[in-house]
Amino acid sequence: MKSLLIVLSGLICSAGSFAQTPDTLFFQDWESGIGSWFASNGVWEVGIPMVGPSSTHSGQRCAATILNGNYPSGSNTRLESPISPQIVLPSVSPPEKILLKFWHWFRNWNDNGSIQISVNGGSWQTINNPLITGTSNAWTQYVADLSLFANSTIRIGFLFQSGTFDNDNGWYIDDILVVKKVSLLNNPEDFEAGVGDWGADNGVWQVGVPTVGPPNAYSSLNCAGTMLNANYPSSKSSRLISPEIDIIPLQGQSPILFFWHWFRLWNDAGRVQISVNHGAWQTVAGPFSGTSPVWTQAPPVDLSAYADSSVRIAFYFQSGTFDNDNGWYIDDIRIEGIQDPTSIGEVHFQVVTGFELSQNYPNPFNPTTAIRYQLPKSGSVELTIYNLLGQEIRKLVNENRIAGQYTVQWDGRDETGAAVASGVYLYRLKAGEPSGGSPGAAQGFVETKKMLLLR
């Protein structure tokens, strides 16, 4: 394997630092005013909010789409960071990350906000999915991974758009931070150190002491919840998303996810989801609905299917058009049966120094097999399955990815979801520089291997 094994012995490595001090690359709290930021088409202001949130997230000032009134209909405007100097993103080595973190409060209803970046002076690209919409009657943290854009200069933009007949309180932004750090999921996670690198993709989720719903957290003082001091809003859809964690099983054990929860949801629902290597979200538990007036331990979730992968865990909450209630509260999350990178003793991790496509395992297989590959640098990646005639069966990966090691599962199905016949299949990895357009446009590495499906 074209990699260097590094052994760190006798170190106590915390999840927050992993023997590395976070490096702040950029910070804006607006306390000195707007500076060289500007609005591309009006509306955005910096100052003390008079409508919307009762206060800023911290200090006295924030940025907002109108500080003392509702935003106008037909808005299409971006709050942009300075043209000069731009934010410089350095190189990263796994397990380092470059994170964009900020706090926001919004009441947009049918309108939306997009988080955007411009890389090396290029066009603006939206990095959030879903868009910011609806209402979040609390300041919540958003976290985005910018590691893919290492060794670049960037600008940050907050694009707000409103419909022809819509207006409301708007979108408020505070405490913008770009930081280089090792970001790992605490295992276990009890939220006593605060929200950390957890983020909500569309508001609502908070971390702290509950004052509505459960009389206390499950253990100690803090927990996560859909609004700690009020009922959740109607028509809401938002995930509480964890930092990444590597699911490396201990010998002879299965990785199992446990957590405690309290909920009063009535017709609404909560689900547990998993994203593997920044892929699509997959539901692995739930729905949870109705009411549980006591803290209970949720049914354990077997994560064996994600062994040897890097995953993020999300608690996905959805409410109906006319529904609101106390909400869903989460505490004491833990994954048993996996190696702990924060433990005392030897810590092993790999610095990738070359491209590699490994033989799938198991092989032969029925119906699922795992394909591992590694990237020494960020770039575009295509991983595609073909039959022996060279016809494309399924594209497993087609996107830009950061340097590191990845595992992808193939379930023996084609793009339509139909099971393919027994036989020999080919899988090909193409990897290159970040394309900025369609992934795979620039080729730096190409390798093909065979595998055998036996049904």
Could you tell me the residue ranges of all domains in the chain? 1-16+184-352, 354-453
**CB neighbours of residue 123 within 10 Å:** 8
- How many angstroms separate the CA atoms of 111 and 192, rounded? 35
> What predicted TM-score, i.e. pTM, was given to this entire model?
0.77
Evaluate if residue 405 carries a pLDDT over 80. no
Of the pLDDT bands very low, low, confident and very high (cuts 50, 70, 90), residue 270 is very high
Provide the pLDDT for residue 272: 98
Which tokens is 365 given?
């297989």
Least confident of 19-28, 113-122, 302-311, 339-348: 339-348
How far is CA 268 from its chain centroid? 23
Provide the pLDDT for residue 442: 41
For 320-346, b/e burial (b = at least 16 CB within 10 A) is: eeebbbbbbbbbbbebebbebbbeeee
Place of tokens 């989720």: 205
Average pLDDT, the chain: 88
Please state, in angstroms and as integers, the Cα–Cα distance from residue 35 to each residue in 61, 62, 86, 279, 284, following that order.
Answer: 13, 12, 13, 37, 46
Which tokens is 371 given?
């394909």
Give the pLDDT confidence of 104-131 residue by residue, as tens digits.
999 988 899 999 999 999 999 999 999 9
Provide the pLDDT for residue 284: 96
- How many angstroms separate the CA atoms of 320 and 70, rounded? 25
Residues in Cβ contact with 59 at an 8 Å cutoff, skipping those fewer than 6 apart? 29, 30, 31, 174
Greater confidence, 258 or 309?
258
Provide the pLDDT for residue 20: 54
Cβ(89)–Cβ(149) below 8 Å: yes
Output the CA torsion 107→113→117→123 (10° steps): -150
Which tokens is 12 given?
């106590």
Mean pLDDT within 274-281 = 88
Of the pLDDT bands very low, low, confident and very high (cuts 50, 70, 90), residue 352 is low
For 289-314, b/e burial (b = at least 16 CB within 10 A) is: beebeebeebeebebebbbebbbbbb
Provide the pLDDT for residue 343: 45
Evaluate if residue 341 carries a pLDDT over 70. no
Evaluate if residue 217 carries a pLDDT over 70. yes
Provide the pLDDT for residue 280: 87
Q: Which of 439, 417, 363 is nearest to 371 (CA)?
A: 363
Please state, in angstroms and as integers, the Cα–Cα distance from residue 267 to each residue in 97, 111, 187, 322, 323, following that order.
Answer: 39, 25, 32, 10, 7
How many residues are present in the chain?
Answer: 455
CATH architecture of 354-453: Sandwich (2.60)
Residue spans of alpha helices (H) in 11-164: none
Backbone angles phi, psi at 423, to 5 degrees: 150, -175
CATH number of 1-16+184-352: 2.60.120.200
Mean pLDDT within 45-49 = 97
Give the pLDDT confidence of 126-161 residue by residue, as tens digits.
999 999 999 998 999 999 999 989 999 999 999 999
Strands 309-318 and 256-276: antiparallel
Evaluate if residue 400 carries a pLDDT over 90. no
Provide the pLDDT for residue 344: 32
Task: Tell me whether the omega of the peptide bond preceding residue 95 falls within 30 degrees of 0, making it cis.
Answer: yes
- How many angstroms separate the CA atoms of 172 and 104, rounded? 5
Residues in Cβ contact with 168 at an 8 Å cutoff, skipping those fewer than 6 apart? 70, 71, 107, 108, 109, 111
Of the pLDDT bands very low, low, confident and very high (cuts 50, 70, 90), residue 10 is very low
Phi-psi region of 109 (alpha: psi -120 to 50; beta: other; left: phi over 0): left
Strand, helix or coil at 149?
helix
Residues in Cβ contact with 259 at an 8 Å cutoff, skipping those fewer than 6 apart? 272, 297, 298, 330, 331, 332, 333, 334
Evaluate if residue 175 carries a pLDDT over 90. yes
Of the pLDDT bands very low, low, confident and very high (cuts 50, 70, 90), residue 433 is low
Of the pLDDT bands very low, low, confident and very high (cuts 50, 70, 90), residue 19 is very low
Provide the pLDDT for residue 61: 97
Mean pLDDT within 259-272 = 95
Mean pLDDT within 66-77 = 95
DSSP class of residue 147 equals G
Residues in Cβ contact with 174 at an 8 Å cutoff, skipping those fewer than 6 apart? 29, 30, 56, 57, 58, 59, 62, 63, 102, 103, 104, 139
Least confident of 94-98, 190-194, 268-272: 94-98
Evaluate if residue 14 carries a pLDDT over 60. no
- How many angstroms separate the CA atoms of 155 and 87, rounded? 6
| Percent of the chain topping pLDDT 90 | 67
> One-letter amino acid identity for 121?
G
Evaluate if residue 319 carries a pLDDT over 60. yes
Mean pLDDT within 2-9 = 29
The neighbouring-strand residues paired with 377 are none
